[in-house]
Structure 1
Amino acid sequence: MTTLELWMYELGRLFLLPVLALILLLFAYSFYALGSFLMETWQRRRGDHACPLARWCREHGSDDSDGLELLILRRLEPLRIVSRIAPMLGLVATMIPLGPALLALGDGDLASVGEQLVVAFAAVILALITASITYWIVTVRRRWLLASLHRIERERAVTGTRVEGGTA
């Protein structure tokens, strides 16, 4: 290997632990978000869920559609980011151990190859589970929030007044 190739190899290996830690952190976040989502689902089914858009209208004295759309985007943004970066981090965490695994394969050290591949596949599995959970939550929650926005706009058009509360 040339000096540049060796330098790039070592630099890439430095990122393995931070990427694995970030995948674990996002994995934990996805289960926190899942718990929150399940609680919201339960509250919606019981009929005692306070609509966050209606609450925003009360607090800001406005039911401006642009402000509500920004609120929807702001509420969904963390989930959307996690659902998009988790697979990328999983790919990074898969590719980093493949370098040492290939070097070990060239040396005939099959035990080391196995160890590196276990890390690679475990990381990508956790990252894909994280992305799947958060994507599902963001999709359903977006539908709920857009239905609330539609209801607020419809009530405003019919009554000409602000929405004071309720669930959607």
Structure 2
Amino acid sequence: MLEAGFLQLAQWLLTPILALLGVAFLYALWMAGRVLVEAWQRRDPAYAALRPPAGTALDEIELLALRQLEPLRLLSRVTPMLGLIATMIPLGPALQGVASGQGNAALSVFSNAFAGVVLALAAAAIGLVLYSVRRRWLLGELLALKKRLEAGR
């Protein structure tokens, strides 16, 4: 009874997880566009993504930078897990289909399951690249702000 409940719960999770993967992939593409625009804007030496109000402590500015990076960090770390879940949920019924001699139906389930993990890995890869680029940019800005604050003392 407990196993059947878990199986049913897992089946109910498949649609929301696939929806989340679709949203994650669209978010990754959207953020790629934003980072490209930011790269274009960074050609101007006066551009700064971190524009804290005057008198803001350096710790608060670091927190602001982390807040800007956190969505990309989560994208790159969570989507592979969601992809694994999206692959594992239909895998059990597909293997049961193979065992009962319904190989063609199982192949259809396998291809759908692997499509979810491919989408998840693509979103995670995009997120990781964007996270790395933006992190380097923001750390450079933090270093420049720190130097200006130390020079002003």
TM-score over 0.5 (shorter chain)? yes
Deviation of 1:39 (Å): 0.8
1:97 aligns with 2:104: no
Q: Give the alignment partner of residue 137 of structure 1, picking from 125, 130, 137.
A: 130
Alpha carbons 2:42, 2:48 under 8 Å: kept: no
Q: SS of 2:99's equivalent?
A: helix
Gaps of 5+ in 1: 161-168
Sort the Cα spacing of 1:49 and 1:15 in 2 relative to 1 into closer, same or farther, 3 A. Answer: farther
* TM-score normalised by length of structure 1: 0.86
State the identity %: 42
Deviation of 1:4 (Å): 2.2
Q: Which residue of 2 aligns with 1:166?
A: none
Q: Which residue of 2 aligns with 1:67?
A: 60
Q: Which residue of 2 aligns with 1:51?
A: 48
Deviation of 1:131 (Å): 0.5
1:28 aligns with 2:26: yes
Deviation of 1:18 (Å): 0.6
Output the CA distance in 2 between the equivalents of 1:34 and 1:109.
42
Q: Give the alignment partner of residue 151 of structure 1, picking from 141, 144, 148.
A: 144
* TM-score normalised by length of structure 2: 0.94
Alpha carbons 2:65, 2:138 under 8 Å: kept: yes
Aligned length: 153
Alpha carbons 1:104, 1:113 under 8 Å: kept: yes
Q: SS of 1:108's equivalent?
A: coil
Larger radius of gyration: 1
Greater displacement, 109-118 / 151-160: 151-160
Q: SS of 2:47's equivalent?
A: coil
Deviation of 1:115 (Å): 1.1
In structure 1, give the amino acid aligned to 2:139.
L
Alpha carbons 1:43, 1:49 under 8 Å: kept: no
In structure 2, give the amino acid aligned to 1:34.
A
| Shift >6 Å, 4+ stretches | none
Sort the Cα spacing of 1:61 and 1:7 in 2 relative to 1 into closer, same or farther, 3 A. Answer: same
